[in-house]
């Protein structure tokens, strides 16, 4: 990952463009560490290098999981990052260009605000692979409604940026070339508010205490035989391609 300070924001960029910024265990740990560093700023921003924001968990890393302990480690990494985003003492904004699928979409949902390019796509392919989405179901249902999130999660069909904005999943969709400027305008606006009042307000908005339960459910699904088969097949398809 890359880290830089832009104005009042700590800017974290997933930097595996050849893998659509898929999340490995190392990336998850690094993101949590850098998010802690960004908490020294007024705002944190998550972005992706290249054509996509984040394709989700790295298929090869997931396919190589051996046993419940490794599954728990990976699940703890994913849920730990989502928890770090939701509990960070500063607002976290996602700057989304291209695809945000799986854990990438989870990150967008976990962020306090989201700005996306007009050609961005959002998807929850987890159920097709045998895993339940960690946070998406509850969080998207809060803004979009139960039937919308049910269709998205059950069919695994992605939605476009216009739909995501209409559902309240993102704040706005703008031309791709304008995403960074739009995010920085939002950063400047937030920075004019009182830091402590902003922190307390965020706590009231995002409060939850079931992260450990979410992680354990994810680990159990990652070790299910059919789930293992699906991830191995998907990883082999990438290598064959």
Q: Which residues are catalytic?
A: 106, 126
DSSP 94-108: EEE-SEEETHHHHHH
Question: CB–CB of 108/53 below 8 Å?
Answer: yes
End-to-end CA gap in the chain? 26
Tokens of 147: 């039937």
CB contact set of 99 (below 8 Å; sequence gap of 6+): 20, 52, 53, 54, 55, 120, 121, 122, 123, 158
- The burial class, CB within 10 Å (0-12 / 13-18 / 19+), for 235 is middle
Distance, CA of 200 to CA of 191 (rounded, Å): 15
């Amino acid at each position: 990952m890359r880290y830089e300070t832009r104005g009042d924001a700590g800017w974290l960029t997933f930097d595996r463009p050849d893998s659509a910024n898929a999340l490995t265990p190392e990336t998850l740990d690094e993101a949590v560490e850098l998010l802690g560093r960004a908490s020294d700023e007024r705002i944190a921003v998550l972005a992706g290098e290249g054509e996509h924001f984040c394709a989700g968990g790295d298929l090869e890393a997931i396919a190589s999981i051996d046993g419940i302990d490794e599954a728990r480690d990976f699940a703890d990494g994913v849920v730990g990052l989502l928890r770090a985003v939701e509990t960070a003492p500063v607002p976290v904004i996602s700057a989304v260009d291209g695809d945000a699928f799986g854990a990438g979409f989870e990150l967008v949902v976990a962020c306090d605000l989201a700005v996306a390019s007009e050609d961005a796509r959002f998807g929850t392919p987890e159920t097709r692979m045998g895993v339940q989405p960690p946070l998406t179901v509850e969080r998207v249902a809060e803004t979009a409604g139960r039937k919308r999130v049910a269709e998205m999660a059950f069919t695994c069909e992605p939605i476009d940026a216009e739909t995501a904005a209409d559902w309240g999943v993102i704040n706005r969709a703008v031309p791709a070339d304008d995403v960074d400027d739009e995010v920085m305008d939002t950063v400047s606006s937030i920075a004019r508010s009182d830091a402590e009042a902003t922190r307390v307000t965020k706590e009231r908005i995002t409060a939850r205490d079931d992260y450990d339960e979410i992680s354990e459910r994810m680990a159990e699904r990652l070790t299910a035989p059919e789930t293992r088969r699906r991830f191995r097949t998907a990883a082999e398809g990438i290598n064959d391609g």
